[in-house]
Amino acid sequence: MFDEAGSGDQEKITPQNAGYRNPLDEIMKANREEDRLQEEKKKEITSKWMEGQGPEAEIVISSRVRLARNIRNIPFPPLASDEQRKKVYTLVEKNVQGKLGKKDKLKMIETSSLSPVFRQVLVEKHLISPLLAKEGYFSALLLREDEIISIMINEEDHFRIQCLLPGLQLERAWQEASRYDDFLESQIDYAFHEEKGYLTACPTNVGTGMRSSVMLHLPALVITNQIKRIFSAINQVGLAVRGLYGEGTEMIGNILQLSNQVTLGQSEEEIWQNLYGVTKQLINQEKKARELLQNEGREKLADRAGRAFGILKHAYMLDSQETMKLLSDARLGVDLGLLKRISLKALNELLVLTQPGCLQYLKGAELSPYERDLERAVQIQKYLI
């Protein structure tokens, strides 16, 4: 250990005691046992969709399709009694779980069995909604081992079937979600109306009950000031733009979420194909803007990425906004082959790992915003060693 007083030995001059000591170094070597535990927890936080693979993965982080479904003759969850919520829960427990083949198997996790901080982790991983995280009574999550399929039970609707894939894979996401929908329907009588389609608690979901979305990283369009113009164009084609964590979140880290708004009167294919078409166009625009920036000076971009990497690796305190910006800068560098010391997978994982819930889960304690900024820097340093 460090120079212990009274050890008697003559003090040697080493880099460690020569001068300034990095307090973070001491924090980081402090507890091996904690490290081991944290490695386990990190495995729980990382997910298949973060692997940085799939079509157009350098711009499209993930694709998602979710279907809202309800059981006939049971009030929707917001108005259902505890007894009725329990009925839904038991129905799933008896008729859904265990009837799926080995490959399709879903694990049923009751929300109330999870700690609040772990629920937050699941929200940050995009596996459950903030609403389900709050909803304790007889709500649950059905999760496939690879985490690509998740079904929320007793959220705003009785079922929210979700398929989350890396890269631009909307068709596959729709097919996979639909396959689970078929299975659920074989076991459960859905609330369905000939004219209005699948009936949902919120009129914005009625019809197909389908929300398809893509998570896009569009730094060059932001740098070249084109993003505002694109926003208004997107709204005109019936799509909604949101930040990384959905409704009410702003665009940080140059990441935005694009999703369909209309669910009634269009077929599922039309819905995802429309989103796909717009996404493709945005990808092209972004690529053009990236080319433009490179022509203006590759060195500038390399410098930007290198600086971001440097700060990520050496900062003592990082708030979430700065972190997202740095991750975005580094990501652009990686995409353009200008930064090779970090992978897309690492950037995706860090995106989630540095969120407040994950940091508190890793630390095993509640952290104030100030403490989180410290912990965020520690976790990023550990990750980048």
Partner 1 sequence: MKPARDAEKNINGPGKMLCERCGKKNATVHVTKIVNGNKSEYYLCEDCAREKGETGASWEGKFPLQQFFSGLMNFLPPDSSKAVVSKGYSGLQCPVCGLTYTQFCQVGRFGCAQCYEAFGQNLLPLLRRLHGNQKHRGKIPARVGSYVRLKREIEQLRQELNEKVAAEAFEEAAVLRDKIRQLENESAEGGEDHVR
Q: CA–CA separation, 263 vs 268, rounded Å?
A: 8
CA distances from 382 to 141, 313, 339 (A): 31, 9, 19
Could you give the string, one character per residue 150-169, with x where binding to partner 1 holds by CB under 8 A and - elsewhere?
------x-------------
- Cβ closer to partner 1: 178 or 224? 178
Counting residues that bind partner 1 (by CB under 8 A) gives 58
CB of 159 to partner 1, least distance (A): 13
Nearest to 157 by CA among 213, 95, 74, 94: 74
- Cβ closer to partner 1: 268 or 335? 268
- In the DSSP assignment, the letter for residue 11 is P
- Cβ closer to partner 1: 226 or 294? 226
| Helix (H) / strand (E) containing 186 | helix 170-187
- Cβ closer to partner 1: 230 or 283? 230
- Cβ closer to partner 1: 353 or 359? 359
Q: CA–CA separation, 174 vs 366, rounded Å?
A: 38
CA distances from 35 to 27, 115, 117, 346 (A): 11, 21, 19, 18
What's the CA angle centered on 126, arms 123 and 132, to 5 degrees? 45
Cα 72 from chain centroid? Answer: 32
Give yes or no for a contact between 355 and 117, defined as CB atoms under 8 angstroms apart: no
Site for partner 1 in 37-76 (CB under 8 A): 70, 72-76
If binding is defined by CB under 8 A, does position 276 make contact with partner 1? Answer: no
- Cβ closer to partner 1: 56 or 176? 176
Site for partner 1 in 98-137 (CB under 8 A): 129-131, 134
Contact with partner 1 (CB under 8 A) among 46, 97, 224, 266: 266
Contact with partner 1 (CB under 8 A) among 28, 91, 262, 317: 262
If binding is defined by CB under 8 A, does position 248 make contact with partner 1? Answer: yes
Give yes or no for a contact between 55 and 169, defined as CB atoms under 8 angstroms apart: yes
Site for partner 1 in 313-332 (CB under 8 A): 319-321
If binding is defined by CB under 8 A, does position 78 make contact with partner 1? Answer: yes
Please return the burial class of 183, using the count of CB atoms within 10 Å of its CB with bins 0-12, 13-18 and 19+: middle
Contact with partner 1 (CB under 8 A) among 11, 33, 40, 182: 182
Q: Which residues bind partner 1 (CB under 8 A)?
A: 70, 72-76, 78-79, 129-131, 134, 156, 178, 181-182, 185-186, 189-204, 206-208, 210, 238, 247-250, 261-268, 271, 319-321, 356, 369, 372
